């Protein structure tokens, strides 16, 4: 009798725990601010928990999120953005969010490096737009970073004693990592080597999203091909 009641108590506890977890799941849509078209397979990150999910073919996403936590968004060809999940969102079933597309209009900046990647061009413009007002940032002479990811930046030019500047750079570099992963691990490449599409593609890319450190250490597409093949076996054996 005791064993039966004990099992029942454990079962009820697990049920309540799972439901409590589900209550923290929040749905949202991510769209282009100009066309209002969905932004597909963008990365949505809870900066408090470091959990990252991907948007679907309709721009929809689901992520665990609590009040006052912060979401950040990164997609190839778009500016970064964030929201704090507060009173303005709590009463809504879904959150409608928009990202502004990049234009690659770099003003009086002279790009001297040839053969720059889409990611590097995006990175230049995002740095100029985001950091200009916060830290009075001026883009330095452009050079390819040693890691092969993005643009080299001399951080010694900025005071380490100014908290807002440090926070701005921390946030920006965190999102740059997400943007680099999106650039190196795009949907077209994953579909090419896996054949996955739609919901399966979203789930695979979300579940087996490589780290920025791994991608920087494996710069050839062939390495990503083998990575996808290895993870595909796990995906189909779930």
Give yes or no: residues 177 and 218 share one domain: no
The model's pTM: 0.72
In a domain, 146, yes or no: yes
Residue 55: give its domain's CATH number: 2.60.40.1120
Give yes or no: residues 159 and 197 share one domain: no
Give yes or no: residues 34 and 83 share one domain: yes
Residue with more model confidence, 170 or 164: 170
The mean of the pLDDT values for the chain is 79
Using one digit for the tens of pLDDT, what is the confidence trace for 12-57?
445 444 444 456 899 999 999 999 999 999 999 999 999 999 999 9
pLDDT band at 1 (very low <50, low <70, confident <90, very high): low
Give yes or no: residues 146 and 61 share one domain: no
Give yes or no: residues 174 and 201 share one domain: no
In a domain, 60, yes or no: yes
Using one digit for the tens of pLDDT, what is the confidence trace for 81-107?
888 888 777 778 899 999 999 875 444
Give yes or no: residues 162 and 191 share one domain: no
In a domain, 55, yes or no: yes
Q: What is the pLDDT of residue 153?
A: 46
Rounded CA separation 132/134 (Å): 6
In a domain, 123, yes or no: yes
In a domain, 208, yes or no: yes
What range defines the domain where residue 66 resides?
2-99
Q: Is 108 exposed, middle or buried (0-12, 13-18, 19+ CB in 10 A)?
A: exposed
In a domain, 110, yes or no: no
Give yes or no: residues 132 and 94 share one domain: no
In a domain, 157, yes or no: yes
- If one counts every other C-beta atom within 10 angstroms of the C-beta of residue 151, the result is 20
Residues 74 and 61: beta-carbon distance below 8 Å: no
How many domains does the structure of the chain reveal?
3
Residues 84 and 70: beta-carbon distance below 8 Å: yes
β-strand partners of 52: 45
In a domain, 214, yes or no: yes
Boundary residue ending a domain (183, 207, 225): 183
């Amino acid at each position: 009798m005791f064993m039966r009641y004990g099992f029942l108590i454990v079962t009820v506890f697990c049920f309540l725990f799972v439901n409590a977890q589900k209550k923290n799941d929040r749905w949202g849509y991510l769209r282009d601010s100009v066309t209002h078209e969905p932004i597909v397979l963008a990365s949505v990150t809870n900066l408090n928990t470091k959990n990252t999910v991907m948007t679907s073919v309709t721009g929809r996403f689901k992520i665990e999120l609590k009040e006052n936590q912060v979401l950040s968004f990164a997609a190839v060809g778009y500016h970064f953005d964030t929201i704090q999940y507060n009173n303005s969102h709590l009463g809504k079933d879904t959150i409608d969010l928009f990202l502004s597309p990049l234009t690659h209009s770099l003003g009086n900046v002279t790009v001297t490096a040839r053969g720059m990647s889409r990611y590097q061009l995006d990175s230049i413009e995002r740095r100029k737009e985001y950091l200009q007002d916060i830290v009075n940032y001026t883009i330095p002479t452009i050079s390819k970073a040693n890691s092969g990811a993005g643009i080299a930046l001399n951080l010694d030019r900025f005071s380490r004693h100014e908290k807002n500047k440090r926070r701005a750079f921390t946030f920006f570099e965190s999102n740059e990592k997400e943007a680099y992963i999106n650039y190196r691990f795009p949907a077209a490449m994953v579909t090419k080597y896996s054949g996955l599409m739609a919901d399966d593609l979203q789930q695979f890319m979300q579940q087996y999203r490589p780290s920025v450190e791994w991608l920087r250490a494996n710069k050839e597409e062939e390495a990503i091909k083998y990575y996808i093949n290895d993870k595909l076996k796990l995906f189909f054996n779930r």
